Structure 1
Amino acid sequence: MSFRSTTIHLVFCCAALPLMVTSVTAQPAAQQNLDERARALQKEVPLIDGHNDFPWALRQNVERDLNRLDIRVAQPSIHTDIPRLREGGVGAQFWSVYVPASFVGADAVTATLEEVDTVHQMMRRYPEAFELALTADDVERIFRGGKVASMMGMEGGHSIDSSLATLRMFYRLGVRYMTLTHGSNVPWADSSTDEPVLGGLSRFGEEVIREMNWLGMLIDLSHVSPDTMRDTLRVTEAPVIFSHSSARALTDVPRNVPDDVLRLVAENGGVVMVTFVPQFISPDVAGHGRAAEVEELRLEAAYPGNANAIEAGMQTWLEANPTPRATLSQVADHIDHVRDIAGLEHIGIGSDFDGISSVPVGLEDVSTYPSLTAELLRRGYTDEHVMGILGVNVLRVMREAEAVAERLQRTRPPSPTLIEHLDGR
């Protein structure tokens, strides 16, 4: 190369250098701008999470004793504590008062009452951080006061033991949604993860829906079978929610929402609160879970009654087949899909923190919501769209359910119906 060509080459390289540096530095600056916008939006409207299982984690870990798991300070063994709720900009939380579907009858009612008591104890112990919210107006007022507006959701109709009176009393205690089933059927509704018996709702199940409308209690269709979803959407006069579900078209598991139901949710005015549960958002994680089930069945057949051999075999299999990781981006993909099928007004967020043993990369605990907000902004969602997803959509659903209840309570008293009257059992 001649001296002249070398000189020209150096001039062009040097001239291009500032552009290259600008391009490299622009990316962190752009991300910083998105992060700042995300946090600013979460100060404008309450981020309402549809499902957090901290009360059950408290029961499992320390027998419901807040002295032994004080969330005023960091608690890295779980997903939730007050410092991280503040860092994550959480404005309102539906605390799940979950008890397993293996609890039945009076035992289920009693255990659920204990979980309700846990939430009330949280309000009493941490008044600077939490306040019980019973209406949409309460949520906005408490959020403006700098606290986490706290609501309760029952996770499974087994918690009411097929009693409308028990349903009404839970409402009086502050419960503002009920998931119709959990992992097993209830006498009046089919679950998504049990063998169908009713083909949706029984006649008494329809009466449960009408009484929830009368109360103003939100109907949660997470966990229920597609037929139960469709029956509920046919009967209800108020918008529904899915407190922690995602799109079945993207991850084909029974707990997710089929596209035809997403369209019905749009007609109903409801909201699907997209979850962070890895096996519901990642096809790879879901596929790994199915493969693990097949292997466990093989081991059970090979070593009948030998729990140690089955456990050792599963450990070997898992070491050879490590579980894939779901990602924040995949959660955003499910939000995109619900937007495309149901519309922007029908999306919310329902993490299931402290109810899951693994988490997506980028959404490790309650401090990480701004990362998801920033990802939506990066994908082109407007500030108005994002605020809808964060909480405005759910507040609308709450207000519409409150309005339906006010109208119905002017026209009829509480229902005296027993399950025996309609279902003969």
Structure 2
Amino acid sequence: MSTTRAVDGHNDLPWQLLKKFNNQLSLPAANLSELQGTHTNIPKLMTGLVGAQFWAAYVPCETQDKDAVKRTLEQIDVIHRMCLKYPETFACISDSEGIEEAFRTDHVASLIGVEGGHSIDSSMGVLRTFYRLGVRYMTLTHSCNTPWADNWLVDTADEKPEHHGLSDFGKRVVKEMNRLGIMVDLAHVSVETMKDALNVSEAPVIFSHSSAYGICPHQRNVPDDVLQKVKETRGLVMVNFYSDYVSCSHQSNLSQVADHMDYIKHVAGAEAVGLGGDYDGVGRVPVGLEDVSKYPDLVAELLRRNWTETEVRGALAKNLVRVFHEVEQVRDRMLSEEVPPDDVPIAFEALQGSCRTRYGYPDDSRDPDNSGDPDSGDRPTYLPALLALFFLAGCLL
């Protein structure tokens, strides 16, 4: 691990910074060198030999159709400010080469993953803007359906499918992510959505924090037929440490996490295994993996199970770097082919929520006569009122 540091696919420290401090990194209690009550702080990252971290820009499903974009921008901002405030520790990077450079300079490469497609508010323009701000993966759903994708809860009795996977717009979102170079993350999505995305994506996909259904049959985990497809498409499953997904109970241990890694290795190949601890996003973690300082103990367990050095280095970092690089290669190919940005908006009728304007759509209420004058729809029209008055006067007479 001194030369191949751990790359973790998902850490919710930014969410903790919002909940505890409203993202005020200037507060003394928010000092990441001394932060208490979290799975993650700078000393723990150093002890755990973490060399790269995808920080989750997460906002809850209740923001959907409200302030999801604003809230997500604030979470992206706090990640950038972490790098600015602690430049000796964090290096915000946005490409696969940056991870290996951070290893050489002894920094924690800091990358951004948006957790939940509701964060783009069904807008390709917002997706492209997130890319420019450094976002390099997006989880297609969190624990709610979007207007274009079904989440994992539809595979339970708690929620009904709306799209049976991805809608046509959802498939276009995946294609646009390929064009941009944003990794498609299938943690939190339904099995039908997994399969649709795997069929549509031209680049390998990731599961940033999911485990093996064959070990723990929880709907947040990845079933065997999907693992086979991950193998065929050179994707990656970054194993989650949440006890409920590890053991299907409230208690788990480090050995059981290694069981998931063994299982994915057996079904999908060693090249499909990664780490996605979900630290600071879950309340129950395995005994032996209490925080981010414990990654070396997991590596020791894999070596005890006769994983080769090559396989361990792959699970630590090289598998993710390879997937990231292949995503960039697809992006570069699409750029050379001059594939244009997708600028066709989602149908207005597919959107929900009352706080929406219709600008740009054919029946824009601000321009009812399509005159080109957006203020024409605001001018008072007196004729109906006058007719109503005449009618009322006639009745009275």
Considering the TM-score relative to the shorter chain, is it more than 0.5? yes
Q: 2:16 aligns with which of 54, 57, 60?
A: 57
Structure 1: state its 5+ residue gaps: 1-41, 286-323
1:240 corresponds to 2:166: no
Q: 1:406 aligns with which of 322, 332, 338?
A: 332
Shift of 1:423: 6.3
1:420 corresponds to 2:337: no
Q: Which moved more, 1:391-400 or 1:404-413?
A: 404-413
1:96 matched to which residue of 2?
Answer: 56
Shift of 1:422: 11
SS in 1 for 2:88: coil
Shift of 1:325: 1.7
Q: Which amino acid aligns with 2:342?
A: S
Report the Cα distance in structure 1 between the residues aligned to 2:160 and 2:242, rounded to whole angstroms.
23
Report the Cα distance in structure 2 between the residues aligned to 1:94 and 1:72, rounded to whole angstroms.
17
1:141 matched to which residue of 2?
Answer: 101
1:281-300 aligned within 5 A: 281-283=246-248, 285=249
Report the Cα distance in structure 1 between the residues aligned to 2:101 and 2:326, rounded to whole angstroms.
18
2:128 matched to which residue of 1?
Answer: 168
1:160-199 aligned within 5 A: 160-193=120-153, 194-199=159-164
Percent identity between matched residues is: 49
1:20-419 aligned within 5 A: 42-68=1-27, 69-105=29-65, 107-193=67-153, 194-283=159-248, 285=249, 324-411=250-337, 412-419=339-346
Conservation of the 8 A alpha-carbon contact between 1:246 and 1:281: yes
Change in CA separation of 1:172 and 1:422 when aligned onto 2, cut-off 3 Å: farther
Shift of 1:351: 0.3
Shift of 1:417: 1.6
Conservation of the 8 A alpha-carbon contact between 1:51 and 1:243: yes
SS in 2 for 1:234: helix
How many equivalent residue pairs?
Answer: 345
Shift of 1:62: 1.1
Report the Cα distance in structure 1 between the residues aligned to 2:30 and 2:108, rounded to whole angstroms.
17
Conservation of the 8 A alpha-carbon contact between 1:202 and 1:423: no
Conservation of the 8 A alpha-carbon contact between 2:17 and 2:30: no
The one of the two structures with greater contact order (alpha-carbon pairs below 8 A, sep at least 6) is 1
Shift of 1:75: 2.4
Conservation of the 8 A alpha-carbon contact between 1:244 and 1:275: yes
SS in 2 for 1:244: coil
Q: What value does the CA root-mean-square deviation take over the aligned residues? A: 1.4
Shift of 1:85: 0.3
Q: Which amino acid aligns with 1:113?
A: L
TM-score, normalisation: structure 1? 0.79
1:321 matched to which residue of 2?
Answer: none
Question: Which structure carries more helix by proportion?
Answer: 1
SS in 2 for 1:115: helix
1:6 matched to which residue of 2?
Answer: none
Shift of 1:219: 0.3
Conservation of the 8 A alpha-carbon contact between 1:218 and 1:240: yes
SS in 2 for 1:361: coil
Q: Which amino acid aligns with 1:253?
A: H
Shift of 1:135: 0.5
Change in CA separation of 1:424 and 1:186 when aligned onto 2, cut-off 3 Å: closer
Change in CA separation of 1:91 and 1:358 when aligned onto 2, cut-off 3 Å: same
SS in 1 for 2:237: strand
Q: Which runs of 4+ in 1 moved over 6 A?
A: 421-425
Report the Cα distance in structure 1 between the residues aligned to 2:271 and 2:334, rounded to whole angstroms.
25
SS in 2 for 1:419: coil
SS in 2 for 1:260: helix
Q: Which amino acid aligns with 1:277?
A: Y
SS in 1 for 2:52: strand
1:302 matched to which residue of 2?
Answer: none
Structure 2: state its 5+ residue gaps: 154-158, 353-397
Conservation of the 8 A alpha-carbon contact between 2:244 and 2:251: no
Shift of 1:203: 0.2
Conservation of the 8 A alpha-carbon contact between 2:218 and 2:245: yes
Report the Cα distance in structure 1 between the residues aligned to 2:52 and 2:281, rounded to whole angstroms.
18
Conservation of the 8 A alpha-carbon contact between 1:203 and 1:423: no
Report the Cα distance in structure 2 between the residues aligned to 1:70 and 1:181, rounded to whole angstroms.
29
Shift of 1:143: 1.7
Q: Which amino acid aligns with 1:278?
A: S
Shift of 1:421: 8.6
Q: Which amino acid aligns with 2:47?
A: E
Report the Cα distance in structure 1 between the residues aligned to 2:150 and 2:222, rounded to whole angstroms.
15
